[in-house]
Amino acid sequence: HRVDRRQRQMCIRDSSMPLDELEKRLADLPADRTIVAYCRGPFCLMSDEAVQLLRARGFVARKISDGVSEWAASGLPIETSAQ
């Protein structure tokens, strides 16, 4: 597992949104920040679909190469929102 420099500088905000809800909830996303899509693991393709949808709607979006579990296991930050 290799983490690139850009990933080290990012912080995932844990506000998970299922792909089938994404288009309905675009207004909930910050338009002034990069949206990072993630999946259950490196072979999941839903994050690719999410990035395509977000970019088509004018958002700056990218995906992490692995899942959020691998991100956390690498010691990279996850920001959780207060419930």
Cα 30 to Cα 59: distance, rounded to the nearest angstrom: 9
Q: 61 forms bridges with which residues in the sheet?
A: 35
Catalytic residue, candidates 39, 50, 54, 61: 39
Helices (H), ranges, the chain = 5-9, 19-22, 46-56, 68-73
Told to judge if 44 belongs to the known catalytic residues of this protein, a careful annotator would answer: no
Residues with a catalytic annotation lie at 39
